[in-house]
């Protein structure tokens, strides 16, 4: 069956309703496009778990603050469609911003919880409101039974789990492991902003996480020490400017002195002008 492309919420919702009527389960993979192998791991997980896979490709304006990279964010819808079709995705939802936020739009989902206030939330105050609003809309539009998100954005997974639980949304959330390049660099659409030399320097993010993980595996449980180990490695790369390195419980994202339950070691680092994030989950099952 040829992959369907929908550009309006009504058309997407009507098609999804037909699928539901036929008794099929629907998996949603929200993306902002400029698709890479990392996105494809989401599609594959959804393909395995659900009868129908819907990918959304939408650069969501409400999750970008003025001065962030909304305008410059890469857009390449035709190439994206080729990749999605190869993965056996059934339908793509690709609306214009005006279709998602028509004149008069005024209802936002604003998670008011610890998960949105720390790490990325502390630096990007409107980001998770935008994410929660668009993800709720996408879930309603696609009638998703399950939605798939990458550990690359682990805090986003924590936030989505929080607001879907708080609002009793009937959607099961699956987190898919981080997909990396051979160099260790986590795949990201924003990697396209970097020159070859910067991409090489960016491997310091995963290296620092690996070092901290090795210390954890060898028995280190002090949050302070694990953060220090990561920082020490980051300092070796002159092109890296650290925004934060932090250890928090996962998924509650509470502070902890010791790693006694699943914990997220997360970092945000500038390489040149590009801001990159990466993380590792230490201990337990997240």
Alpha helices per DSSP H over 167-222: 196-201, 203-217
By CB under 6 A, residue 155 contacts ligand AMP: no
Query: Which CB atom, from 130 or from 215, has the smaller least distance to ligand AMP?
Result: 130
By CB under 6 A, residue 282 contacts ligand AMP: no
- Give the CB-nearest residue to ligand AMP: 150
Query: Which CB atom, from 184 or from 262, has the smaller least distance to ligand AMP?
Result: 184
By CB under 6 A, residue 41 contacts ligand AMP: yes
Q: How many residues line the site for ligand AMP (CB under 6 A)?
A: 17
Q: Which window, 69-77, 186-194, 228-236, 242-250, contacts ligand AMP (CB under 6 A)? A: 186-194
- The burial class, CB within 10 Å (0-12 / 13-18 / 19+), for 206 is buried
By CB under 6 A, residue 132 contacts ligand AMP: no
Could you tell me the smallest distance in angstroms from the CB atom of residue 69 to ligand AMP?
12
Q: How far apart are CA 65 and CA 126, in angstroms?
A: 7
Q: How far apart are CA 272 and CA 42, in angstroms?
A: 29
By CB under 6 A, residue 150 contacts ligand AMP: yes
Query: Which CB atom, from 50 or from 229, has the smaller least distance to ligand AMP?
Result: 50
The total number of residues written for the chain in this structure = 286
Cα torsion 104, 65, 30, 136 to 10°: value is -40
39 is catalytic: yes
Could you tell me the smallest distance in angstroms from the CB atom of residue 46 to ligand AMP?
11
| CA 266 to each of CA 8, 65, 247: distance values in angstroms, whole numbers, following the listed order | 36, 22, 6
Give Cβ neighbours of residue 223 (< 8 Å, ≥ 6 apart).
Answer: 247, 255, 256, 257, 258, 259, 263
Binding flags for ligand AMP, 11-40, as an x/- string (CB under 6 A): --------------------xx-----xx-
Where residue 56 falls (left for φ over 0; alpha for ψ -120 to 50; beta otherwise) is: beta
Site of interaction with ligand AMP (CB under 6 A): 31-32, 38-39, 41-42, 149-150, 152-153, 176, 178-179, 186-189
Positions marked catalytic: 39
């Amino acid at each position: 069956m040829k992959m369907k492309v929908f550009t309006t919420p009504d058309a997407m919702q009507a098609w999804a309703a037909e699928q539901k009527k036929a008794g099929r389960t629907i998996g949603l993979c929200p993306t902002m496009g400029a698709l890479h192998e990392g996105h494809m791991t989401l599609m594959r997980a959804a393909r395995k778990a659900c009868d129908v896979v819907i990918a959304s490709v939408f650069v969501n304006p409400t999750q970008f603050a003025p001065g962030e990279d909304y305008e410059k964010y890469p857009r390449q819808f035709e190439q994206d469609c080729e990749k999605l079709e190869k993965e056996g995705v059934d339908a793509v939802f690709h609306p214009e911003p005006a279709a998602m936020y028509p004149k008069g739009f005024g209802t936002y989902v604003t998670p008011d919880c610890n998960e949105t206030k720390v790490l990325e939330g502390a630096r990007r105050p409107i980001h998770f409101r935008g994410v929660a609003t668009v993800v709720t809309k996408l879930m309603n539009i696609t009638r998703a039974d399950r939605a798939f998100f990458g550990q690359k954005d682990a805090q986003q997974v924590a936030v989505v789990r929080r607001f879907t639980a708080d609002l009793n949304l009937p959607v099961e959330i699956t987190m898919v492991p981080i997909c990396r390049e051979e160099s260790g660099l986590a795949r990201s659409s924003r990697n396209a902003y970097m020159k070859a030399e910067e991409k090489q320097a960016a491997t310091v993010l995963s290296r620092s996480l690996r070092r901290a993980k090795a210390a954890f595996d060898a028995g280190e449980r002090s949050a302070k020490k694990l953060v220090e180990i990561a920082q020490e490695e980051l300092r070796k790369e002159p092109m890296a400017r650290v925004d934060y390195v932090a250890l928090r419980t996962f998924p509650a994202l509470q502070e902890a002195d010791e790693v006694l339950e699943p914990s997220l070691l997360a970092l945000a680092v500038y390489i040149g002008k590009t801001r990159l994030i990466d993380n590792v989950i230490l201990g337990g099952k997240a």
